[in-house]
Amino acid sequence: MPSPTHVSEPADRLATSVVAPSTAPVVSAPARRARLTGTFWWSLALIGLLCLVAVFATQLAPYPPNAQLDIVALKSQPPSAAHPLGTDQYSRDLLSRMLFGARISLSVAMLAVLLSATVGTAYGLVAGYVGGRVDAVMMRLLDACLAIPRVLLLVAVLALWSPVPLPALILVIGLTGWFEVSRLVRAEVLSVTQREYIVAARALGASGPRIIWRHVLPNVLNPVIVAAALGVGNIIILEAGLSYLGIGARAPTASWGSIFFDGSDAFQATWWIALFPGLAIIVTVLAFNVFASALRDALDPHQLAGDRAR
């Protein structure tokens, strides 16, 4: 190829002749950033705070989470200066248990969502991109999986596998949660692969895997991110429910669901044991749901166009 450094006259002339139209209004990066609302930031801040609490539970907790401090004197004490959230019926400090519970609840939810989002995205990408008979078989298989009631399946598996180690709990929840994600991804892939830049990429010599990785995946990721944010909230509730049924986190391990379970027997007498984990679950789930919807608004190109027209 001739060295492109010496550019001929006409190209330069052309270059200058089109400077004017290029100044037409376009959506710039700052305009995009401006779409991240206050809602987005406070929900993100709350989630960040919860994560910090979970990470630094060891440093923050005044007592070890499973220590029975004084089974006689400190049994089921209401909130006080020494024990801000009170103690449970085994004289364990509730605040410490809550902090360690955050660790279990959040990590189970986040890792399970990470797993299901990854598996679901990969499955949907392959089905949507390969298409044809492969797609048909993969989708019928998915229909079959979707027909299984998730909670019943989880109850059955976890009841048979008791006590269940935490990684297994994450695995089981994660591997039963990807069906919806892969439907979502497949639908997006079908629409993205119709775009001309996919044909253009093939015309320029890109291989199938490269096209999937560079051109399809980044363009189908937005709905997955939103679904994942929503999914974390759902799984916190699911995990709490499973713990409440006694088949989630193993007995002495504190998760918000298991603490709630400890307190639910005698709610009228020792209300604080169930109330605080309940509140924690509500606030966390709310934060993730609000975050997900703010994220959807920020990522949705249709909303962006609507905003410009306004």
Report the DSSP beta bridge partners of residue 87.
93
214 binds other proteins (CB under 8 A): yes
**Cβ count near 265 (within 10 Å):** 11
- The residue among 31 and 283 lying less far from other proteins, judged by its C-beta, is 31
* Stretch of residues binding other proteins (CB under 8 A), selected from 84-92, 180-188, 198-206, 268-276: 198-206
215 binds other proteins (CB under 8 A): yes
- The residue among 72 and 196 lying less far from other proteins, judged by its C-beta, is 196
- The residue among 15 and 251 lying less far from other proteins, judged by its C-beta, is 15
- The residue among 11 and 147 lying less far from other proteins, judged by its C-beta, is 11
The single-letter DSSP state of residue 274 is H
Are 211 and 202 within 8 A, CB to CB? yes
Among 35, 75, 150, 202, binds other proteins (CB under 8 A): 202
CB of 279 to other proteins, least distance (A): 40
In the chain, alpha helices (H): 9-17, 19-22, 29-33, 38-55, 57-60, 94-130, 132-146, 150-160, 166-175, 179-192, 196-203, 208-210, 217-244, 256-264, 271-299, 301-309
**Cα–Cα distances in angstroms (integers) from residue 254 to residues 109, 204, 287, in the given order:** 15, 56, 21
Among 144, 159, 199, 251, binds other proteins (CB under 8 A): 199
Q: Look at residues 75, 67, 73, 238 and name the one whose alpha carbon lies nearest to residue 155.
A: 238
22 binds other proteins (CB under 8 A): yes
Phi, psi values for residue 225, rounded to 5°? -60, -45
308 binds other proteins (CB under 8 A): no
131 binds other proteins (CB under 8 A): yes
30 binds other proteins (CB under 8 A): no
- The residue among 10 and 38 lying less far from other proteins, judged by its C-beta, is 10
Phi, psi values for residue 300, rounded to 5°? -75, 115
CB of 219 to other proteins, least distance (A): 6
35 binds other proteins (CB under 8 A): no
CB of 217 to other proteins, least distance (A): 10
10 binds other proteins (CB under 8 A): yes
59 binds other proteins (CB under 8 A): no
CB-based contacts of 4, cutoff 8 Å, min separation 6: none
219 binds other proteins (CB under 8 A): yes
Among 122, 139, 206, 225, binds other proteins (CB under 8 A): 206
Could you identify the residue written with the tokens 């401006």? 34
Phi, psi values for residue 271, rounded to 5°? -60, -30
203 binds other proteins (CB under 8 A): yes
**Cα–Cα distances in angstroms (integers) from residue 172 to residues 59, 109, 140, 160, 285, in the given order:** 30, 12, 22, 13, 21
44 binds other proteins (CB under 8 A): no
Which residues here bind other proteins, judged by CB under 8 A? 1-2, 4-5, 7-8, 10-12, 14-19, 21-22, 24, 26-28, 131-132, 195-197, 199-207, 210, 214-215, 218-219
